[in-house]
Structure 1
């Protein structure tokens, strides 16, 4: 399955400990690079989160954010009445001993243990956070696969174009070779008076061998078959495509360098255009 490296997914979930929000986005990168942002309450999850993401994603520069918004309204903060009663008794006792002592309400509220957050089951909160991460990861991978399907269609259309050009070249090469032989024979006939016919034939054969691109076209056909096979595989194939495109480009360059006819020169140029277009698309494949 071809996947794009560019994708975005987000989701929220309300829990007893607050509202969890997860956001995951990615862009192209040669390797897997992760940036992870977590609230202090869930920082302990970072190793598990990185491992979980790495099982589903192999390439790309990822930005992962997990947020926790505290619950609003009733229960957000609670007054510890037992602690307040203890402090009140202590204040009264001190007031009897120290008449000038004054106790402010704001000082009382800042005393440790007077105001308490609602108790949160940390294990349950962490489990809910990881479940939300799994949901976002599934959405993220699905988005990559949808975009990857579009990339695959665009690339395979261009591969079909390369195959058509290779077929055209195979049809033209024998005609071009025969025409070149005829031209060379005519030229050599003009200058070959007194020359050794065997030597002249040998020179002709060597020249025609330099024009032989059958091997390059055979390799091009092989690369076409391989790139089509790659698009049927389940595992990520971005790096494999990078290598294949280098091979495609090598054959196109050789075909161009050996060309002695405007028709094969044009074919070599068109091949390079299609290869460059595929390379642009392939850079976004995982």
Structure 2
């Protein structure tokens, strides 16, 4: 789910730079830094990103540089008219009362509130919005292409880890078969010692208890499930669409079987294989966080 893209554009109202970044995340967490004053931009940008990205911590930003007109100083005609009317009224009222008032200079009038303005006049941001969203669409194309390329590389890594888990599961099955005579002999020896030390013990009950221990130590079911999980992981890797959450769940199942295998192993070689399995599964779980 990681990715980055940048897009630069220009129009009659200024220049802009779109930038989008994404890192791993369980769901979609979209954060945006957009300039104010462009009606509909935030809602449209959020909808555009959400339609393309389903998972990850995503940051979208837009830097907009207005044209030089944005910093120009201009006369507000309406404000000037109000100011001149006020000057005329004061002059006439002063004359009526017998006062002589000096006519103000033009520079004096310009300093009155509302006469001068900075910034561009009110503008229609509709064309700017259309141009920005068109560039955003192209940005998301670039972003998707980068993530797709990374996804292909990631698929190779995960496929290799699945193959390693499959190999270790087969090695565990071989190790379990090799330990079977050892376990059977151990159980017979234990049964003989118990029978020798407890003449009044029920041999059938003792045999049942030992058989139960044998069943509990059997790892066939765990190994069968590991093989099934390997097949499921390979199917998910070949599916189109959103499979990240399914992979998350599958990794939990992988780890559960590996933990049970280690707890039931009773054999150094089988324990070593189980620990190797847990290592590979943990590494794969980290990579799966990048899958959308």
Give the alignment's TM-score, normalised by structure 1: 0.83
Tell me the equivalent position of 1:282.
Answer: 288
Match of 1:150 among 133, 143, 153: 153
What's the CA shift for 1:46? 0.8
1:56 to 40, 52, 63: 52
Preserved contact between residue 22 and residue 133 of structure 1 (Cα < 8 Å): yes
> What is the deviation of 1:9?
0.8
Instruction: State which of 35, 38, 45 in structure 1 corresponds to 2:41.
Output: 45
Shift of residue 132, structure 1, vs aligned partner: 0.4
Q: Does the CA-based 8 Å contact 1:10-1:24 persist in structure 2?
A: yes
Aligned equivalents of 2:117 and 2:271: distance in 1? 85
Superposed CA offset, 1:89-138 (max 9, x none): 989989x9753412218927985577773785522211111000001111
Instruction: Verify the 8 A CA contact 2:166 2:227 in the aligned structure 1.
Output: yes
Which stretch shifts more, 27-36 or 272-281? 27-36
Q: Which residue of 2 aligns with 1:69?
A: 65
Deviates more, 1:138-147 or 1:186-195: 186-195
Report 1:126-141 matches (<5 A).
126-141=129-144
Greater relative contact order (CA < 8 Å, ≥ 6 in sequence): 1
Among 6, 12, 16, the residue aligned to 1:10: 6
Residues 203, 105 of structure 1: alpha-carbon distance in 2 compared, 3 angstrom cutoff? same
Could you tell me whether the CA contact under 8 Å between 1:17 and 1:121 is conserved in 2? no
Shift of 1:149: 2.2
| Contact persistence 1:91–1:103 (CA under 8 A) | no
My pick for the range that moved more, 163-172 or 198-207, is: 198-207
Q: For residues 115 and 269 of structure 1, what CA distance do their matches in structure 2 show?
A: 70
2:221 to 210, 215, 231: 215
Q: Where do residues 1-286 of structure 1 align in structure 2 (5 Å cutoff)?
A: 4=1, 6-72=2-68, 77=72, 98-104=101-107, 107=110, 112=115, 117=120, 121-193=124-196, 198-286=204-292
Per-residue CA deviation, residues 11-49 of structure 1 (Å, 9 max, x unaligned), is 111111211221111222222112222222325311111
Q: Distance in 1 between matches of 2:129 and 2:63?
A: 12
Aligned residues of 1:177 and 1:211 also touching (Cα < 8 A):
no
Gaps of 5+ in 1: none
The offset of 1:261, in angstroms, is 0.8
The CA distance in 2 between the partners of 1:91 and 1:188, in whole Å, is 116
Q: Does structure 1 retain, via aligned residues, the 8 Å contact 2:233–2:247?
A: yes
* Structure 1 residues 190 and 79: alpha-carbon distance in aligned structure 2, compared to 1, 3 A threshold: closer
Shift of residue 275, structure 1, vs aligned partner: 0.9
